[in-house]
Structure 1
Amino acid sequence: MSVRRIWASLSTLALAAVAALGVAGTAVAADSSSASAGGYVALGDSYSSGVGAGNYLPDSGDCRRSANAYPQLWAAANSPTSFAFVACSGATTSSVARGQLGALNAATSLVSVTAGGNDVGFAAVMQDCVLGSEATCLNSVNAAIAKMNNSLPGSLDSLYGSIRAGAPAAQVVVLGYPRFYQLSGSCVAGLTETERAAINDASDVLNGVLAKRAADAGFTFSSVVDEFTGHELCSGAPWLHSVTVPVQNSYHPTAAGQSGGYLPAFRSAV
C-alpha cells in the first residue's frame, strides 16, 4: 500500500471532524473602549466557537464553545457591558440567522461572525481530498468555488441584513478563514502539492467573497491570513490541527491559533 493510501486510511478519523468545518478592514473601526461600553455578541461557526482549542464551556454541548476561543479571550480582556457567546460548531449562514440572532438587540455595540465555509461544503472538499484521487479533490474544490461565486453572496447578504436589523448601532466584524497549508513545507505524506495549493486558492476566493459582501453591508472584514502565515499545516509550527484525535479537532485552529491568529485579527478591527 502506498504512503498516500496508508495516510488516507488513517484519515477516515477526520470525517466526523470535517463535517463541523465551516474553513484588511473595509470599514472604520471603533476603538476597543467604545466597543466595551455596550454589549458584545459572538456569532458564527466552529472557527468562532473554538473547536480544536479545548477547554469547552460546560453548557455549550455540541456547539463546543471554548474558553480559549477569540470571543471569550477578547471579552475577558475588555469587559464589555454584556457578552453573548452563541457561535456554534457546524453553523451555516442560515443556521446563524435562525438560531443565533436572538442574542442581538438595540444595545449591542459589537458583533463578530465567521460564516460561509459550511455553506460551500468545505467539509466535503476535505473528505474528497483526503480520501480521493487528485482529480477528485480538484473537482470538489472547483465545485466549492462555484458555490462561493454563485450562491454564497446572496446567503451572506441575507445574513448580514438580518444582523444589521437586530443590532442597528453595532460595529460588525466579519472574520475570514486561514489558508490551510504552507506550500513546499515540511509535510512528507498526505495530499499532493497541487491539492494543497488548490485548497489554499479556494480559501482565498472565499475570503474575497466575504470581504466584498461585508464591505457592501458596511461591516468590517478582518483577514486572518497574515496572522496564520508561518503557522499553516506543513509549516513545522502549525496553529491548525491536521488529522487528530479527538476527530472533531481536525482542520481547526488550536488554542494558539485562536490566541495568536484570530484574537489579534479581531482586536485590530475593533
Structure 2
Amino acid sequence: MAYRRGEQQMTKIRRSAAALALTVAAGAVVAAGSLSPANAATQKYVALGDSYSSGDGAGSYGSSGACLRSANAYPELYAKAHPGTALSFVACAGAKVEDVLGKQVQALTADTGLVTISIGGNDVGFASVVTTCTFGSDAACTDRIAKSTATATTALPGKLDTTYAEIKTRSPRAQVVVLGYPRLFASGPAFCAISQTKRTALNKAADSLAEIIADRARSAGFTYEDVRDEFAGHGVCTSNPWIHGIRPLAVAESYHPTLAGQKNGYHAALTNAIG
C-alpha cells in the first residue's frame, strides 16, 4: 500500500510538471504574438532612382550631400506609414541608368520585398531641356524637346530593359513599382513666365516619356504607376503648385516636387499601387 501511494504521488507530480510546461509554452506564444513592430518580421524595401525619388525639392536633406535625399521623400513617407519596413534609400539626384546599374542596385538582395524606381529623365536630358525652355526662345525650346524625345524613343527603351532585368535578377521575388514623371506646367492660358507654346511642348514631352517608361515597365512584369493624375492641376503656374518653378537660391530644386508633391503626388501614387 505504501508503494502504491508513492506511485500515485509521483503521477501527480508528473501531471503538475506537464501542466506547468504547457502554461509556460502558452505564455511564450502570447508574448511572441504581442511583439512590437520593431521586433516583428520586416519587409526589405529598396528605393532606387533619381531626384524625383530622392526627394529633391522637398527639403530636409540631412547628410545626403549632392544626392539630396529628403526625409519628406515618398520612400521615407511609405516606410514611416508601414511599421516593420526596413528601408534602403539609395536614390540620388542627377542619377542616370548607369548610376543605378553601377551602384544603386548593390542594395538589392534576394530577400528584398519591395523596390521602387523613377529613372530616365536625366538620360534624355531633363536639365538641358528645362534650362533651354526657361531662358531660350520658343523655337529653341521646341527644337531641344524634339531632340530629347528622339533620344527617349530610340535609346531609352533598351536602357530601361537592362535596368529592369538587373532588378529582377537581384531581387526575383520583389514587388517592383516604377513611378513616372508629372507634367511640369499648367496647361492652357495661365499667368506664367513660361509661354504657353513652351508649356504645351514640355507637357507633351512628359506624355511621350510616360508612354515609353510604362511600356518597358509592363513588359518587364513590373507595376507602372502614372503620377500625372495625382499632379493634375498642381503644375508650375497653377494656383496650388506641387512642383517648384525656378528657385534662384536653390537651383537644384527647380522643377522638382515640393513637400506636398512628394506627399500628395508620389506617396499617394505608391499607396494606390500597393496599398
* TM-score band w.r.t. shorter chain: 0.7 to 0.9
Q: Aligned equivalents of 1:140 and 1:191: distance in 2?
A: 15
User: Whole-Å Cα distance in 1 between the matches of residues 138 and 86 of structure 2?
Assistant: 48
Q: Which has the higher contact order (CA 8 A, sep 6+)?
A: 1
Q: Could you tell me the percent identity over the aligned residues?
A: 48
Give the equivalent residue in structure 2 for 1:240: 243
Alignment match of 1:250 (pick from 254, 257, 268): 254
Q: 1:179: how far off?
A: 0.2
1:104-138 deviations in Å (ceiling 9; x for gaps): 00110100000000000011111111121111100
1:166 maps onto 2:140 in alignment: no
Bigger Rg, which one = 2
Structure 1 counterpart of 2:213 = 210
Residues 33-44 of structure 1 mapped to structure 2, 5 A cutoff:
37-44=42-49
Aligned to 2:105: 101
Structure 2 portions without partners, runs of 5+: 1-40
Residue 191 of structure 2 corresponds to 187
| Secondary structure of the corresponding residue to residue 56 of structure 1 | coil
Other-structure match for 1:118:
122
Displacement of 1:186 = 3.4
**Residue 171 of structure 1, CA deviation:** 0.5
**Contact 1:107 1:167 (8 Å CA) reproduced:** yes
TM-score (norm 2): 0.83
- CA–CA distance in structure 2, aligned partners of residues 87 and 63 of structure 1: 7
Deviation of 1:185 (Å): 4.6
Q: How does 1:1-270 map to 2 (within 5 A)?
A: 37-58=42-63, 60-188=64-192, 190-244=193-247, 245-270=249-274
How many residue pairs align between the two structures? Answer: 233
Gaps spanning 5+ residues in structure 1: where? 1-35
4+ long deviations beyond 3 Å: none
CA contact (8 A) 2:231 2:242 kept: yes
The 1:254–1:81 alpha-carbon spacing in structure 2 relative to 1, beyond 3 Å, is: closer
Q: TM-score, normalised by structure 1?
A: 0.84
Q: Secondary structure at the match of 2:176?
A: strand
**Alignment check: 8 A CA contact 2:50 2:91 kept:** yes
CA-atom RMSD, angstroms?
1.2
